Amino acid sequence: MLWTGSAASLLGAMSVTTAAPLLAFTLTRSPAFVSWVVAAGTVPGLLLHVPAGMLVDRLDHWRTMLVSQTVRTLMSVVVVATLAAGVFRPSVLVLAALVSGACTTFYNVAEVTAVPRVVPAERLQTAMAQNEGRANGAMLLGRPLGGVLHAVGTAVPYAADAIFGLASMVAILTLRSAWLRGRTGHSHSTAERWVHTPAVSADGPTDRQRRSLTAEMFEGLKWLWQYRFLRTTLIACTATNLLFQIVTLLLVVRAREAGLPLAGVGVLLAAPGLGGSFVSGYVAVTHRRRYGRRPIRLVRLCMGAWLGMTVLLAAVPWAGAWMVAWGGVGFVGARLNIALSTYQASRTPADLRGRVAGTNRFVTLGVAPIGTMVGGVAITTVGAPAVAWAVPAAIAATGVLLWTARRARLLRLRRRLRRRLRRDAVRAPMAPA
């Protein structure tokens, strides 16, 4: 029920993400206003992931998901009602995008932290693979669905989003809140208790509590940084997410220059979703954990595969090769996402899951707008071919940087160990003759 409710919510959100800019342009014919609507939908995700993680660790997961979905559904109902009554104002569309983005952020963080509470440890990777497949499936279905529904009527996408939201609310209400609170009768550790924060006195929070609230904003990053696999994956995913935003713009430019029709461009851009759906289904069905003991090997393989795929994108001027390479990028990325989600969920303490998930998403996804802006400027300045070769060069540089940092850390540890052994040998008492 958790997976079904989240799938309905994600499908509605994806369809509205496509329909909102179309509706903005239909009503105003202003590209500037379209940019405002798009920005309003993305800004909450950039600003609220870390605060959402902190609050989700303190609040009821079940109520957080239910309230977030209810508010987002009511906002879609407001848009439909104002359009039907003829009193709609463009500012309502900006407000709807802001509300939808904020509610989706809180819902997603609460949902991903709730999964380890309802899934046994031995089935956690399968659950994460199903979640990854759900995300890719919603991307493949939701974006075209938003365009089709907008062609039927301007209010139809928001009406559909309200229906999807209602289905998600029913699924959430079907869940027992006790499952998400760790009160189902199963044995739970102290970290699994729902209320773990210190009580606030009647006079308000103390200075110590205020400082702890501020420190919690950084606890997720500190925890992520202490694990080699999570630290390496965070750096690799952040760098490649930025570069893949450039590749997306690059593919649009090169496809249009090659005379590819708009439908073909859409299929090309959907290739990563196809690749991600395939590997998610494979992992979910086979339950394979090939990289369970040495997961850092998976990061190296992914970086090497991404390097090869981006070289293929730069070297081959055929749309078919672009589709295979771009789909391969999504295939590899989905495999790494599954491993990262499983590793993170299985090792994160219950009282840190929200902050860790929020920090991870903020860092890795927050670079997307930067990549889009950098890509546009770079393609305009130096041209598409140069940018196409700069992307694999940057991926190779990132891989070399990660390997060099690892080697430098090992050398430092060896020097410390030698100094410690020498010091212990000097301090050791002389053996009797």
- What's the pLDDT at 273? 85
pTM for the predicted model, two decimal places:
0.77
Calculate the alpha carbon distances from 398 to 203, 243, 303, 307, 392 in Å: 51, 11, 9, 10, 10
3-state secondary structure 126-184: HHHHHHHHHHHHHHHHHHHHHHHHHHHCCCHHHHHHHHHHHHHHHHHHHCCHHHHHCCC
**Residue 4 contacts by C-beta under 8 Å, 6 or more apart in sequence?**
171
Residues of the chain with CATH 1.20.1250.20: 1-122+135-177, 216-425
Q: What is the CATH number of domain 216-425?
A: 1.20.1250.20
Calculate the alpha carbon distances from 289 to 24, 298, 375 in Å: 46, 11, 36
pLDDT of residue 317: 86
pLDDT number for residue 177: 58
Taking 50 as the pLDDT cut, the residues of the chain under it are 182-211, 431
Q: Which amino acid is at 69?
A: Q
**What is the identity of the amino acid at 347?**
R
Q: Does domain 1-122+135-177 have CATH number 1.20.1250.20?
A: yes
pLDDT of 390: 94
What's the pLDDT score for residue 203?
44
Sequence-distant (6+) residues with CB within 8 A of 31 are: 25
